[in-house]
Structure 1
Amino acid sequence: MESAASLHAIERMVLLLLVLVAAFAVIAHRLKVPYPIVLVLAGLGLTFLPHMPHIPLDPNLVFVIFLPPLLYSAAWTVSWRDFRRNLLIISSLAIGLVGFTVWGVAEFSDRFITALNWKSGFLLGAVLATTDAIAATSVAKALGLPRRIVDILEGESLLNDATGLLALEFGLRLLERGDLPTLGAGTARLVYLIVGGLGIGLLMGVIIAEFEKFVDNGPVELVLSLIVPYAAYLAGEEAKASGVLAVVACGLYMSRQSARVFSPNVRIQIVGAWEAMTFMLNGIVFLLIGLQMPYVLAGIRGDHNFMMLLKYGAIFSVTLIALRMIWVAPAVWLTNFVNWIKDRKEHITQRETFVIGWTGMRGVIALAAAYSVPETINGVEFEQRNLIIFLTFCVILVTLVLQGLTLPRVIRTLGLAGETGMEPEEREARTLALKEALNFLEKNRQGKSDSLMHAYDDLIDRYEHRLAEFTEDDSEHGATKAQIYQELVRASRGALEAERATIIHLRDEGAISDDVLRKLERRLDLEESKYRIS
């Protein structure tokens, strides 16, 4: 009976979280505010309601359950070409900035926070070294921020989880043993962490990609895609390498291979399922951050003066933002200098540099890292643990809410908000693909019968209308073709709606079954999606 009651309690808790995520995500969409910010604030507000159940944040839940699929999903959407092109600036942020943040926080804590010394400050810096770019990139994409900046932010958030967790490992060793690894030992550990994690992830990606070639079953491949990130993470952790980098490497590789190993039908199913799951996990994570306030306050109450703690939190947050801004400027200068030496045209402007510096938001990884700090070290109670958790919580709120809400204004003020439509290289790719399709049709219609020739002419005409939409043709003929294609799209959508209304009416009248309706509806949905992305 007790186990059944506990299961019902878990069911109610999960149901509550999902309902809250869906409800506040709708509100965020209405307010045109990134949903992570709304969910964090909603979680904070809900803690004041009577009878609101307390939902603790277990660090194992974050690192083992939430982190692998979210990393895998993020890696899947990253462009390998752009990631490689921006590797220098990404590495300087994911490795150099992490080290600079740890050192800066340790120095600041030792000098300005009475309750912390240099060692506990080092641990606090390791906890706060990782950024969460989900909110930043969601705003950036919506406002049309240059794709290069979005790529840099996404790349940094993928890699700095690994270096931040390594810094946490060093911080715990510093408190337990009283010293840090030597430069050689620390470098060797970092190299093994990176090389081992990347190697395990790539190996797993190669094996899975080869296996996928023999499978063409949507449900089976979807289940397999859910297993892969957890398997990669656990394999990396078992090898004492970076499970984070193993997931990232595997995700990047599988994303590159997906165009070859997945059939179109399977790819549609997997992408749709992963979009829903990623949104759900992200939503739960950010809601859980806000719901942690009672636990944070319970741990710190009575140990320190609350107003002094708020002052510490505010000053500490400003310091962390300043450390990032200080590091980003020379890192960008070095990147631009190297690009100039290599005769590359890529150049990060001062305005873009400020945006990169302003998007150092902290999230659930930082909070989970704070909770993972042991309560006792060497058999002695670690008194600074509650303060570390409180300061981490303050930094997350300040950086996520303050920076997240001001980022749209910052982007617009700096004149970086661009068009959100089709990018030049997408336009060029569509144009070349359509021209190649036209060449194929022109060659294959030769020698066909009159009836088939008419069908080919009709198909060629459709492709020419689509091509006119993307070509820069100011002639009257070109403009007319583009207008014809737009009218064709409107007419096609109207025809599809007429088909849809008809089959729904037939189902309602009992002329066809629901199963037949779903089969016909799927064909209509796929056909309509073609016009939606055109």
Structure 2
Amino acid sequence: MDIRTAELLFLLLLLFIIAFGQLARKIGTPYPIVMIIGGLLLGFIPGIPRIALNPDLIFLVVLPPLLYSSAWATSWRDFRSNLVSIFLLAFGLVGFTVVGVALFTPKFFAGFDWRLGLVLGAIVAPTDAIAATSIAKKVGLPGRIVDILEGESLINDATGLLALEFAIALVVSGSVPTVSGSLLTLAWLVVGGAGIGLLVGWIIAFGERHIDDGPIEIALSILVPYAAYFAADAVHSSGVLAVVACGLFLTRKSARLFSPPVRIQIYSFWQSFTFVLNGLVFLLIGLQLPILLSSIRGYSISKILLDGALFSLVLIVLRMAWVFPGAWISNWLRNRFSQQKEKAPSPRQVFIVGWTGMRGVVSLAAALSLPTLLADGRAFPERDLIVFLTFCVILVTLVLQGVTLTPLVRMLGMEGSGGPNCEEQEARRQVITAALTHLETARLEDGGKSDEIYEDIIGHYRHRLAGLQPGEENPEHADHHQFFIEISREAESIERETAVRLRNEGRINDQVLRRIERELDLNESRFSNAEED
């Protein structure tokens, strides 16, 4: 493929990402679902080039920044609080799925033995780090469920890929890893990966203290996940866990590392960057169907589609069979050893956790990365069928479960069950109260020299605080705060129009206009956040 063709393909993919992203927003559907369905439809349009998904592109180019972005958006406090639940899913459920698939496949799929079952189980065991959480947040699930799903999908890639490595060794060379060797390898993957990630994070945090430049820090933030991933991979540890550990470490430090302007630039960049990467991979997943169908030999279309549906159902049942006793064990361990005295999750909550086991691009990349030949030169048995079954699992779990999640949540009465974010409200009250206390003290120390300035600033803070208070005592304060926002927006609109008019008249240049617009945009963002409260 020459450079012009590659450029055209990239531009077409970017155009489709934009179109499907806007469609997802219009119809209120999580964009991973729309992207994969759109890719499916595009794949059967005559003339659309077939783009084979390269597993190296996923593991070495796409996965590190996506994992880093997800880890960056994860709260360490919530991750640590739900660590028992996360580990039971990321390690226990992965192992349960691998064994369950190994027992199931020989009985229902001709040509499969337990070793191929282990391979297939390891491929489809990890959940997608993006799909499940983006869909869960879109439908308004309780925060704790989202935290558990996010933590699970961040870690189980490493355990699934480790299980796949052992399973491939069984099939290709016939070697059986020892229990002690497997445990040592797992320990090195976890400890080594997390340790390298923390080391990279510490180095970056040290360097960030001496940098305060948006473009440079954005470039550095792109480098970080690749540095952590490749450093861990170079010593045969888990690059996935290295990226996750590095992201969790740096997100704790970010409040001190970045100046406000740089933080705004970095967050804006990563929001767009991850959207494009996610859109690209989900679109490419959908485009793989015609390629996979053409590679299947000796099977009728109806037969392999039925097999794919049956296998997807088995995976859903396996996850459900684990999450209910797993939730009870997790709650017992938390109450017994962690002094986290919490009520056991309701059956409705556990069911939702079980239903949101979406698979994604890591599973498909793992399937495509299977070797084509065994050690003796024979073809890897049932490789094409394994890839196709993996694709079916992704399609069913992502589209079917994703589309049905919203009505299911409503039917179970869990929509918006998290209620208002009281923690955020209280935090806002405390920070504004602290600022008011400081201003009052400073005004007294000033001795009345700048009373008008202090009174103006203090008045703004009091109005903001009033907008956060319950309405029983002084309901007029909340109305006053809302009126203050409306008047301020009207005034800013006049400022904006005047600045544009001055630019159009040639009295200021575009650089001056953009600086004025940036200040107005930041104020508008603050008012929008205040209204959401």
Shift of residue 343, structure 1, vs aligned partner: 5.1
C-alpha distance in structure 1 between counterparts of 2:445 and 2:57, whole Å: 65
Computed over aligned residues only, the root mean square deviation of the Cα atoms, in angstroms, reads 1.3
Shift of residue 137, structure 1, vs aligned partner: 2.1
| Matched-pair contact (CA < 8 Å) for 1:143–1:417 | yes
C-alpha distance in structure 2 between counterparts of 1:20 and 1:432, whole Å: 45
**Correspondence 1:262-277 to 2 at 5 A:** 262-277=258-273
Shift of residue 10, structure 1, vs aligned partner: 0.9
> 1:50 pairs with 41, 46, 59, which one?
46
Residue type of the alignment partner of 1:338: L
Runs of 5+ in structure 1 lacking a partner?
A: none
> 2:312 pairs with 301, 309, 317, which one?
317
> 1:355 pairs with 310, 331, 352, which one?
352
* Residue number in structure 1 paired with 2:374: 377
Residue type of the alignment partner of 2:407: R
Q: Residue by residue, what CA displacement relative to the aligned partner does 1:199-232 show, whole Å, maximum 9, x if unpaired?
A: 0000000010011001111111110000000010
| Matched-pair contact (CA < 8 Å) for 2:499–2:513 | yes
Q: Residue by residue, what CA displacement relative to the aligned partner does 1:124-179 show, whole Å, maximum 9, x if unpaired?
A: 11110111152332232233211000000000010001001101101111112324
Shift of residue 451, structure 1, vs aligned partner: 5.8
Seen in structure 2, the aligned counterparts of structure 1 residues 530 and 419 have a Cα distance that, compared at 3 Å, is farther
Secondary structure at 1:304 match in 2: coil
Secondary structure at 1:429 match in 2: helix
Secondary structure at 1:216 match in 2: coil
* Residue number in structure 1 paired with 2:436: 438
C-alpha distance in structure 2 between counterparts of 1:271 and 1:226, whole Å: 12
Residue type of the alignment partner of 2:12: L
| Matched-pair contact (CA < 8 Å) for 2:193–2:241 | yes
Aligned residues: 527
Residue type of the alignment partner of 1:530: R
C-alpha distance in structure 2 between counterparts of 1:495 and 1:346, whole Å: 50
Residue type of the alignment partner of 1:230: Y
Secondary structure at 2:450 match in 1: helix
Shift of residue 422, structure 1, vs aligned partner: 4.4
> 2:475 pairs with 441, 455, 479, which one?
479
Seen in structure 2, the aligned counterparts of structure 1 residues 349 and 496 have a Cα distance that, compared at 3 Å, is same
Q: Residue by residue, what CA displacement relative to the aligned partner does 1:460-505 show, whole Å, maximum 9, x if unpaired?
A: 1111111112222402xx2111111111111111111110111111
* Residue number in structure 1 paired with 2:117: 121
* Residue number in structure 2 paired with 1:336: 331
Runs of 5+ in structure 2 lacking a partner?
A: none
Residue type of the alignment partner of 1:297: L
| Matched-pair contact (CA < 8 Å) for 1:233–1:243 | yes
Q: Residue by residue, what CA displacement relative to the aligned partner does 1:254-285 show, whole Å, maximum 9, x if unpaired?
A: 11100011111111110000000000000000
Shift of residue 418, structure 1, vs aligned partner: 1.1
Moved more, 347-356 or 202-211: 347-356
Quick one: percent identity of the two aligned structures?
51
**Correspondence 1:150-165 to 2 at 5 A:** 150-165=146-161
* Residue number in structure 2 paired with 1:508: 504
* Residue number in structure 1 paired with 2:425: 427
**Correspondence 1:68-87 to 2 at 5 A:** 68-87=64-83
Moved more, 21-30 or 410-419: 410-419
C-alpha distance in structure 1 between counterparts of 2:17 and 2:419, whole Å: 29
Q: Residue by residue, what CA displacement relative to the aligned partner does 1:42-77 show, whole Å, maximum 9, x if unpaired?
A: 101011111101111000000001000000000000
**Correspondence 1:231-310 to 2 at 5 A:** 231-300=227-296, 302-310=297-305
Q: Residue by residue, what CA displacement relative to the aligned partner does 1:327-372 show, whole Å, maximum 9, x if unpaired?
A: 1111100111123333512532111100000011111100000000
| Matched-pair contact (CA < 8 Å) for 1:218–1:270 | yes
C-alpha distance in structure 1 between counterparts of 2:105 and 2:305, whole Å: 15
* Residue number in structure 1 paired with 2:387: 389
Seen in structure 2, the aligned counterparts of structure 1 residues 437 and 219 have a Cα distance that, compared at 3 Å, is same
Seen in structure 2, the aligned counterparts of structure 1 residues 185 and 270 have a Cα distance that, compared at 3 Å, is same
Secondary structure at 1:130 match in 2: coil
Q: Residue by residue, what CA displacement relative to the aligned partner does 1:399-457 show, whole Å, maximum 9, x if unpaired?
A: 11100000001111111111687401000100111110110001000143656112111
| Matched-pair contact (CA < 8 Å) for 1:143–1:420 | no
C-alpha distance in structure 2 between counterparts of 1:38 and 1:85, whole Å: 33
Secondary structure at 1:515 match in 2: helix
C-alpha distance in structure 1 between counterparts of 2:159 and 2:445, whole Å: 64
Deviating runs (4+, > 6 A) in structure 1? none
Seen in structure 2, the aligned counterparts of structure 1 residues 227 and 434 have a Cα distance that, compared at 3 Å, is same
| Matched-pair contact (CA < 8 Å) for 2:44–2:290 | no
Residue type of the alignment partner of 1:327: W
| Matched-pair contact (CA < 8 Å) for 2:131–2:360 | no
Secondary structure at 1:445 match in 2: helix
**Correspondence 1:125-274 to 2 at 5 A:** 125-274=121-270
| Matched-pair contact (CA < 8 Å) for 1:133–1:359 | no
| Matched-pair contact (CA < 8 Å) for 2:84–2:334 | no
Secondary structure at 1:377 match in 2: coil
| Matched-pair contact (CA < 8 Å) for 1:473–1:479 | yes
**Correspondence 1:456-495 to 2 at 5 A:** 456-475=454-473, 478-495=474-491
| Matched-pair contact (CA < 8 Å) for 1:339–1:347 | no
C-alpha distance in structure 2 between counterparts of 1:213 and 1:134, whole Å: 31
* Residue number in structure 1 paired with 2:22: 26
| Matched-pair contact (CA < 8 Å) for 1:140–1:150 | yes
Residue type of the alignment partner of 1:303: G
C-alpha distance in structure 1 between counterparts of 2:159 and 2:228, whole Å: 18
C-alpha distance in structure 2 between counterparts of 1:461 and 1:85, whole Å: 39
Residue type of the alignment partner of 1:305: S
